[in-house]
């Protein structure tokens, strides 16, 4: 128990409990089952992308291209559905392949050209966004097929409620959970997972131990792209249309969600459990602002400040840790 209280996840849990208590006082609707499910459903897109971003941050990298990547994946998925007679599985596969391709390009630029991840992914973000706007002209894609609408409304375990609605786990939340489980298994039980932590701790040491750093880095960015592809279909299933302009700023929200969950932008640290709590915390904060009837522009200001504080605290803590290591080396 003492070990757990010292972990970063414990602090996040305390914040979640405090916020939940306050919001319950502000609005009796907060703790209702349908509201909690709505929080998870509305944040499923950020959550899936966060699970893809987690390995990237653990390795010491960063992926700024996820916002334009999800836009391109959503546009491709939307066009496929409106033009061809296909099914939901094919839509997911195509969107994941598009995301994986963008991730592959990121990985190759970073490993082969030795360009810093921030610069490389920023460049790909700009190019991808240009492709999206050139192809769509900024117009929405609507008129999605009926089977996709049914998928978007599908729930596991429909339970009737007093108000005549049904309560169940939405398909988007199920995909969020599966994404978290797959990421956890990959990081905890595979050689690649151990290599990701090794690279984040010390890339030079990872090379000496025998890890193929370049291959692992390419995999990491492809994994982020695949998760972004999944998130694109999930987002489209919620809103039932594709707006290529709606994903602006997603990369900062996703990164801050992972950082709030205990990961570091400097690498070597991060867990699926912590990221899950980060997703919940961001969802509760956003939902609380809505329940408190805070104006939309103030909601954006608050969320922006949370993102800024989360990343700033991470950088400050990391510098403190590095300064301690320097003092130990000097004294030694």
Q: Look at residue 138 in the predicted model and tell me its pLDDT.
A: 80
Q: Look at residue 307 in the predicted model and tell me its pLDDT.
A: 73
Mean pLDDT of 300-319: 74
Q: With b meaning 16 or more CB within 10 Å and e meaning fewer, what string describes 256-295?
A: bbbbbbbbbbbbbbbbbbbbbbbbbbbbbbbbbbebeeee
Rg (CA), the chain: 20
Quick check: 145 pLDDT over 50? yes
Q: What percent of the chain has pLDDT over 70?
A: 89
Which domain range does residue 122 map to? 36-248
Q: Look at residue 306 in the predicted model and tell me its pLDDT.
A: 76
Q: Is 210 exposed, middle or buried (0-12, 13-18, 19+ CB in 10 A)?
A: exposed
More confident residue, 128 or 34: 128
Q: Look at residue 330 in the predicted model and tell me its pLDDT.
A: 42
Q: How confident is the model at residue 163 (pLDDT cuts 50, 70, 90)?
A: low
Quick check: 41 pLDDT over 50? yes
Q: Look at residue 216 in the predicted model and tell me its pLDDT.
A: 97
Q: Look at residue 323 in the predicted model and tell me its pLDDT.
A: 67
Q: Look at residue 14 in the predicted model and tell me its pLDDT.
A: 85
CA gap 180, 277 in Å, rounded: 12
Q: Look at residue 329 in the predicted model and tell me its pLDDT.
A: 44
In a domain, 291, yes or no: no
In a domain, 113, yes or no: yes
In a domain, 66, yes or no: yes
Q: How confident is the model at residue 290 (pLDDT cuts 50, 70, 90)?
A: confident
* Residue 113, both tokens: 């050209």
* Residue 32, both tokens: 């209702």
Q: Look at residue 295 in the predicted model and tell me its pLDDT.
A: 80
pLDDT in tens, 214-264: 999 999 999 999 999 999 999 999 999 998 888 888 998 899 899 888 888
Mean pLDDT of 6-28: 79
In a domain, 319, yes or no: no
CA gap 292, 288 in Å, rounded: 6
- Among 241, 198, 250, residue whose Cα is nearest residue 50: 250
Please identify which residue in the block is written with the tokens 């750093």. 213
Cβ atoms of 265 and 64 closer than 8 Å: no
Mean pLDDT of 100-124: 96
In a domain, 207, yes or no: yes
Written as one string, the DSSP assignment of 78-129 is: HHHHHHS---HHHHHHHHHHHHHHHHHHHHHHHHHS---HHHHHHHHHHHHH
> Three-state DSSP class for 64?
coil
Q: Which helix (H) or strand (E) holds 19?
A: helix 8-26
Query: What are the strands, taking DSSP E only, across the chain?
Result: 155-160, 166-170
In a domain, 175, yes or no: yes
Q: With b meaning 16 or more CB within 10 Å and e meaning fewer, what string describes 219-234?
A: bbbbbbbbbbbbbbbb
Share the mean pLDDT of the chain.
Answer: 87
pLDDT in tens, 176-219: 999 999 999 999 999 999 999 999 988 999 999 999 999 999 99
In a domain, 157, yes or no: yes
pTM for this prediction = 0.90
Q: How confident is the model at residue 100 (pLDDT cuts 50, 70, 90)?
A: very high
The residues facing 167 across adjacent strands are: 159
The residues facing 214 across adjacent strands are: none
* Residue 252, both tokens: 């900062």
In a domain, 45, yes or no: yes
CA gap 47, 21 in Å, rounded: 23
The dihedral of CA 207, 210, 212, 213: what is its sign? Answer: negative
How many structural domains compose the chain?
A: 1
* Residue 41, both tokens: 């459903």
The residues facing 160 across adjacent strands are: 166
Longest CA–CA span in the chain (Å) reads: 70
Quick check: 162 pLDDT over 60? no
Q: Look at residue 296 in the predicted model and tell me its pLDDT.
A: 76
């Amino acid at each position: 128990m003492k070990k757990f209280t010292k972990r970063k996840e414990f602090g996040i849990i305390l914040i979640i409990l405090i916020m939940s208590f306050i919001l319950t006082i502000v609005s009796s609707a907060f703790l209702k089952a349908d509201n909690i499910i709505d929080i998870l459903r509305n944040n499923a897109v950020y959550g899936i992308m966060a699970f893809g971003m987690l390995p990237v941050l653990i390795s010491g990298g960063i992926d700024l291209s996820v916002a334009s990547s999800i836009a391109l994946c959503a546009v491709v998925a939307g066009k496929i559905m409106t033009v061809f007679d296909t099914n939901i599985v094919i839509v997911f596969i195509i969107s994941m392949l598009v995301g994986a391709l963008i991730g592959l390009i990121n990985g190759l630029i970073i490993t082969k050209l030795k360009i810093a991840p921030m610069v490389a992914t920023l460049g790909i973000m700009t190019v991808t966004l240009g492709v999206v706007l050139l192809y769509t002209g900024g117009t929405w894609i609507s008129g999605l097929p009926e089977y996709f609408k049914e998928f978007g409304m599908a729930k596991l375990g429909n339970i009737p409620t007093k108000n005549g609605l049904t309560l169940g786990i939405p398909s988007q939340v199920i995909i969020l959970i599966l994404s978290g489980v797959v990421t956890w298994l990959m990081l905890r039980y595979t050689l690649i997972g151990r290599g990701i932590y090794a690279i984040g701790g010390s890339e030079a040491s990872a090379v000496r131990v025998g890890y193929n750093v370049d291959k692992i880095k390419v995999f990491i960015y492809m994994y982020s792209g695949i998760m972004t592809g999944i998130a694109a279909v999930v987002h489209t299933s919620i809103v039932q249309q594709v707006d290529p302009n709606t994903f602006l700023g997603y990369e900062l929200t996703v990164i801050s969600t992972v950082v709030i969950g205990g990961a570091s932008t400097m690498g070597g640290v991060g867990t699926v459990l912590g990221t899950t709590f980060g997703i919940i915390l961001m969802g509760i904060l956003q939902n609380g602002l809505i329940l408190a009837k805070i104006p939309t522009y103030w909601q954006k200001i608050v969320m922006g400040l949370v993102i800024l504080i989360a990343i700033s605290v991470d950088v400050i803590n990391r510098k403190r840790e590095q300064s301690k290591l320097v003092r130990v080396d000097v004294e030694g």
